[in-house]
Structure 1
């Protein structure tokens, strides 16, 4: 499993600030959003929670078990992961490991609907998607994901600004929040592609490229080859990837190779065979890259089964 980028821990509430041992809340309200910091100090079950606006939830310390929409969806929730949920989503939360000496801590960033529309309108006007029939929006079916480095950096920055006494915090926070929302939409776009199996009626240039990469994963791939196959100039291809997915074409190739590498490691049980079968030419480089991205070596991945 990919090693998540955990967020910086926030200071815990002082004892005199505690009004409850379950989901004790501190709130920091700015013009376009509100940051809430929740802490729980004792094991609890089915604690209800709901927000009136779209909410970005980040786990900071400990573990929770989330039950969404009357228990139709349940999952463990750990540090390094983010949830993006629409307004009025009903949640019930278990805190199986919360203790006085090791409380859970999470944050909730509720974003004003006016700000969301402003950001979406800006993107659709100045950075329209490659397929004109689609537009920028949050893809709420992709609501649970691990942080990447960029999401962790921006979220930490938003926390710092929100808790600071900076004279210009409103202006700075607006810029950081805007970028954070864009990066979340790009992350969701990558997750949609990760789950796409083949070209269909709703295919895009990205799913076409993904299929081409998958079918030629062992070959030497380049921006030239990919752009020619997609019928695009190199500059147009790179711009489309950076604008809509937040990565370069060759970074996307690496992601696809590592995804396929995990599949091959389970089958072949061989690091060397997997390395060459997914298009890497240097075993040592493959091992270093795999450990950097996944948090363990290919050999350790095999041992985990």
Structure 2
């Protein structure tokens, strides 16, 4: 479960604690003020919606990735998230649990709705996006997550996010200012 506005009090009072989208509310306030200023200067100014873009997810218990009914899948998920900056192979994950590769892949897909490989890739790209939001450059984020080829990272990022990491970083910086 995921909330919006990231109101700390509400998020902490719910049980389990509610994960929430953090939004660039301050920028939204500036955008509204600019629109009001334009309308005051010229009443014929067309009215428009002001979009407040989310910047990242603040993770709490409600989106705990380890909360899984299958203890083996929970163990694999924990390992993936704790080692996301390393190269992780499916064979490595098979060694963690008493399941065959085929059974692990089948149970993982049933539980998570995606293959192990795709999940690892999605998690790595999500981590890159998070690092970019925290102010890292694309090359710093690539190094942090063990991507040796920035072009490859850029291609995978674009497939998942619809823009390159550089475009994403510029958009985040624009929204913050």
Shift of 1:244: 3.2
Name whichever structure is richer in strand by fraction: 1
CA–CA distance in structure 2, aligned partners of residues 242 and 202 of structure 1:
14
CA–CA distance in structure 2, aligned partners of residues 269 and 276 of structure 1:
10
Q: CA separation of 1:233/1:296 partners in 2, compared to 1, >3 Å: closer, same or farther?
A: same
Shift of 1:201: 9.1
Name whichever structure is richer in helix by fraction: 2
Corresponding residue for residue 261 of structure 1: 128
Q: Any unmatched runs of 5+ in structure 2?
A: 1-61, 173-177
CA–CA distance in structure 2, aligned partners of residues 200 and 248 of structure 1:
18
Q: CA separation of 1:289/1:207 partners in 2, compared to 1, >3 Å: closer, same or farther?
A: same
Asked whether the equivalents of residues 155 and 164 of structure 2 are also in contact (C-alpha less than 8 Å), the reply is yes
Asked whether the equivalents of residues 73 and 107 of structure 2 are also in contact (C-alpha less than 8 Å), the reply is no
RMSD of aligned alpha carbons? 2.5
Report the secondary structure of 1:230's partner residue: coil
- Work out which of the two has the higher radius of gyration on C-alpha atoms and give 1 or 2: 1
Matched, 1:243 2:110: yes
Q: CA separation of 1:200/1:253 partners in 2, compared to 1, >3 Å: closer, same or farther?
A: closer
Asked whether the equivalents of residues 68 and 74 of structure 2 are also in contact (C-alpha less than 8 Å), the reply is no
Asked whether the equivalents of residues 108 and 116 of structure 2 are also in contact (C-alpha less than 8 Å), the reply is yes
The 5 Å alignment of 1:167-246 reads 195-196=63-64, 199=66, 204-246=71-113
Shift of 1:203: 6.9
Q: CA separation of 1:302/1:226 partners in 2, compared to 1, >3 Å: closer, same or farther?
A: same
User: How many pairs are equivalent?
Assistant: 112
Report the secondary structure of 2:146's partner residue: coil
Asked whether the equivalents of residues 67 and 74 of structure 2 are also in contact (C-alpha less than 8 Å), the reply is no
CA-to-partner distance for each residue in 1:221-278, whole Å, 9 max, x for gaps? 1011111123322111111123333321111101111111111112243111111322
Matched, 1:276 2:143: yes
TM-score (norm 1): 0.33
Shift of 1:195: 2.1
CA–CA distance in structure 2, aligned partners of residues 270 and 251 of structure 1:
24
Q: CA separation of 1:294/1:210 partners in 2, compared to 1, >3 Å: closer, same or farther?
A: same
Corresponding residue for residue 155 of structure 2: 288
Shift of 1:285: 0.4
CA–CA distance in structure 2, aligned partners of residues 253 and 200 of structure 1:
17
CA–CA distance in structure 1, aligned partners of residues 112 and 79 of structure 2:
17
Report the secondary structure of 2:134's partner residue: helix
Corresponding residue for residue 297 of structure 1: 164
CA–CA distance in structure 1, aligned partners of residues 168 and 122 of structure 2:
17
